[in-house]
Amino acid sequence: MVEKRKAEKQQPAGPVSAVAALAARRARQQQAQSAQAPNDVPQVVPEAEPPSKKPRPSLEGFESTETNGNRRDARNRATKKHEPLAAVMMAKRPVGATRSPKSEPEPELDVTPERAQNEESGQEHAEDAQEMNEDDVASVVGDPDGYESPAETPAELQNFPLSKARLNKSNIVYSDENTLCIRIKERTNLALLGHYDLWVKRGVVSLMGAKLHPSSQLHRVYAPSTHSLPVIKCVAGVDGDAEVEIKSCNSGIARLRDLSPLYQKIWTGDNTVADKITLKGVAKESKRTFSVLYTSADDSLNRHLRPLHLDKKWSASMKALSQREGRLRVLICGPKASGKSTFCRYLLNHVLSPTPETENGYINADGVAFLDLDPGQPEFAPMGQVYLARLRSPFFGPPFTHPSLDDSQGGEIVRAHHIGATSPKEDPDHYALAVMDLMDQYRLLLEKHPQCPLIINYPGWIFGQGLEVATWLVRSLGLSDVVYMSEKGPTEVVDPLGRAANEARVPLTILPSQPTDFVSRSSAQLRAMQIQSYFHMSHPADLTTSLWSDTPLSRTRPLTVNYAGARQGILGIMVMGSQIDPDLLHETLEGSIVGVVTVESSKAIMGEMATSQTSNHEDHEDIDMDTANPGADIAAELAMTNCIARTPENLPYLFLGSGSCTPLDPKASNCLGLALVRSIDTTSHKLELSTPIPPSHLQSALEKGHGIVLVRGQIDNPNWAISEEYYAARAAERRYQQSTSGSKKTGDSGIEQSHELDSSEHNRTLALLRERVRRASNVPWMTVVEDNSRVHREAAARRDKSLWKLRKKAYPGSESEADY
């Protein structure tokens, strides 16, 4: 009381306003409430506003709302899990969600003290955060694999509506353990999770921008939890409804979960309420490859599931663009994470929809040309490439479900160029030359298919030099439309883009962006999933769909190529981005991803130094095939110019330029795909390559007399390939233990059979499986952490101070945000 009276005496005299009195009274009430509040209620601690030098991006969701007690609980939950984990695999925490006092506390992010200090500094550190490597994303404590922790999300965010339709006896036509045929009323929809074949039997339904009419065609749909779920919507029905059949499929893509944790928990979980209704009368353990979900709360794995809906302006723009039919030449551009890839995917499907003649009299028999200029997240090719593709049918699924179009009946790659990086800013000149060549290829394509429209996907490199390239494309490509995917500008981008469009007399359409608030995989992880899917996918000639193999690359038969001698199979090896000493080429090449590029003439390598002299040497052969002297003329010209340097291992090092290798000329080269250099045998001068490139493509290039060059770029290291054998060994041990856990097992007929297991045989088999796990965990460049708790991670970091990782928080619009 004495201190209070002293404080009152020190206050200045004068009248006190009613507003000030009310504010003081409210402050005292808040203090009293906070004093009586229980300790376990999370308190929001506002962050101090950093000094503003430049407009910095929003960092919503960064405020800590956890008390010490909640953090201890999260740490205790984490330490209870001791699942082994191969290091290097990280994931992004969902951001952008608001929390209520009743919701569960969010899991704690493991951020190093250096990163915490950077976040409190100012704009310089915020800009540094945007330039960080996307591999260095903070893992979520509480999940041993560090990818997503759905159990920690607020309850109100889980119960999100997905489907308007409800299944009952009146709309279920027939169903069994693999098939579900249902009727969907007009203006209602149904969301499914998993992968399945869709057959439209009656009415018209829309799916990912495509309008599907009744036909005998089956549409393969992939709907993983990593992306927004596609919605089947009835747009026109017979007697008020449409009838569709949904059937399980076994493509093998789900088995990739045994090779990488990135593929775990992305497909179906336990049967939902709707599944149980349609599975009545069948075996209890029956499980389809798809599940019907009414709300996100139906998911047994409690993941962030959202339906894939379009903005009304997006739908109107797609309808207007599709009306241009064969005259369509549209460029889609915008900032990162604005929805460019989603818009392109929807527009492609909309134009490729097999509409009957009765609608508008137009039939798209020439397909659609898709010019993908985003080497970081391409749609139909692995990373590091720009390409021109001609598509003939819609595609339903994210990019890692169609990472290539080799021998695919849905389309083919007309021409591709290996950029060797995930961003065009590494070499803008080479990027521009590649774009010019692809446009020339499109003009040649029009001679055979005059009604083939063109859709161009431009990367999020829209500032600075990227803006200059974009405006140059608008002025020079002869476009019909330009679409910019952001209504928020900025003006320094929109104004130059608008002026370029006015000069070219091209309309500019500005659409709102649709960034995602919840992501379970970062951009780097999605790239790893796509390239791993690329190396494990095949296109059988007798099937219309793709298949995936769950065999680790280390257990597959490699392609053996001679790199020196009389039967040399490659012209040379190039390294893009930096100069490599010939003595270090062996270490740089082994275990890396390389582009397999065919060289049509020596001009692709020598440029202006190319000579007109040719010599028919018969000392060179490619890849041990029976083709006589492929690439001999090109090899002879290169031998005359002395542009091939032999390393101590006799590797043919192609080096031209000052400081770094000059890239191959796009006018005289074509990328066939990627390959993994498994090993280099210096005694026999052989390379062992793992590649999904069809042998027919290699044979065709060799028959034309083209040479083959391996190009080492700056794309992500194949960490996924190093850990495949380890995860496959763990999966084999886990399956065996599950199969022998009981004294009875269920046979193929579904009837329980007695099963007496010999203990000695069981122990011997289990020992062999565990020995495989041990051998697989003891490989270079991989560290297996048996306990992924924060305490053990910090202890490992202190032991190994020579290596460090900067873990950062992901926020919408950052470099680590997935560019959908």
Counting every residue, how long is the chain? 820
Tokens of 725: 């054998």
Q: Are strands 219-223 and 210-212 parallel, antiparallel or unpaired?
A: unpaired
585 inside domain: yes
Q: Residue 514's pLDDT is what?
A: 80
Q: Are residues 594 and 490 in the same domain?
A: no
Higher confidence at residue 25 or residue 486? Answer: 486
Q: Tell which phi-psi region holds residue 4, choosing left (phi > 0), alpha (psi between -120 and 50) or beta.
A: alpha
Looking at every residue in the chain, the average pLDDT score rounds to: 76
Q: Are strands 481-484 and 508-510 parallel, antiparallel or unpaired?
A: parallel
Q: Are residues 331 and 397 in the same domain?
A: yes
687 inside domain: yes
> Which of 502, 535, 568 corresponds to the end of one domain?
535
Q: Are residues 398 and 286 in the same domain?
A: no
Asked if 108 and 141 count as a contact pair (C-beta separation under 8 A), the reply is yes
Q: Mind listing the pLDDT tens digit for each residue in 11-27?
A: 444 444 444 454 555 55
> Which of 672, 695, 717 corresponds to the end of one domain?
717
Reference 521, options 532, 511, 535; nearest CA is: 532
Q: Residue 644's pLDDT is what?
A: 78
Q: Residue 800's pLDDT is what?
A: 55
Reference 350, options 374, 330, 334; nearest CA is: 330
Residue with tokens 């992305």: 266
pLDDT for residue 85 is more than 60: no
Mean pLDDT of 550-574: 91
Q: Are residues 437 and 564 in the same domain?
A: no
pLDDT for residue 442 is more than 90: yes
753 inside domain: no
Q: Are residues 526 and 605 in the same domain?
A: no
Higher confidence at residue 52 or residue 292? Answer: 292
CATH code of 257's domain: 2.60.120.1030
Q: Residue 757's pLDDT is what?
A: 64
Q: Are residues 321 and 247 in the same domain?
A: no
Which CA distances in Å does 154 have to 228, 297, 304, 709, 801? Answer: 19, 11, 10, 53, 37
Domain of residue 208, residue span: 172-298
Phi then psi for residue 482, to 5 deg, are: -130, 130
pLDDT class of 758 with cuts at 50, 70, 90: confident
Q: Are residues 367 and 463 in the same domain?
A: yes
pLDDT for residue 544 is more than 70: yes
749 inside domain: no
pLDDT class of 220 with cuts at 50, 70, 90: very high
Tokens of 789: 């708790």
Per DSSP, 88 falls in state T
% residues pLDDT > 70 (the chain): 68
CATH code of 467's domain: 3.40.50.300
Q: Are residues 384 and 530 in the same domain?
A: yes
374 inside domain: yes
Asked if 781 and 720 count as a contact pair (C-beta separation under 8 A), the reply is no
Q: Mind listing the pLDDT tens digit for each residue in 32-69?
A: 554 444 444 333 333 333 343 344 343 333 333 344 44
144 inside domain: yes
Q: Are residues 692 and 572 in the same domain?
A: yes
98 inside domain: yes
d(CA 587, CA 785): 27
Higher confidence at residue 757 or residue 442? Answer: 442
Q: Residue 579's pLDDT is what?
A: 77
DSSP H helices, 691-758, are 695-703, 719-739
% residues pLDDT > 90 (the chain): 45
Q: Are residues 362 and 468 in the same domain?
A: yes
Domain count for the chain, please give it.
4
Q: Mind listing the pLDDT tens digit for each residue in 649-669?
A: 999 988 765 556 788 899 999
Q: Are strands 179-185 and 508-510 parallel, antiparallel or unpaired?
A: unpaired
766 inside domain: no
Q: Are residues 203 and 232 in the same domain?
A: yes
Q: Are residues 294 and 316 in the same domain?
A: no
Which CA distances in Å does 129 have to 54, 134, 355, 544, 805? Answer: 15, 10, 47, 44, 13
Highest mean pLDDT among 169-178, 516-525, 779-788: 169-178
Looking at beta carbons, which pairs linking 116-120 to residues 24 or more positions away fall under 8 Å? 119/59, 119/62, 119/809, 120/47, 120/48, 120/50
> Which of 698, 717, 736 corresponds to the end of one domain?
717
Residue with tokens 């010209």: 637
pLDDT class of 343 with cuts at 50, 70, 90: very high
Mean pLDDT of 250-254: 93
Of 307-316, 613-622, 763-772, least confident by mean pLDDT is: 613-622
Mean pLDDT of 498-509: 94
Higher confidence at residue 615 or residue 192? Answer: 192
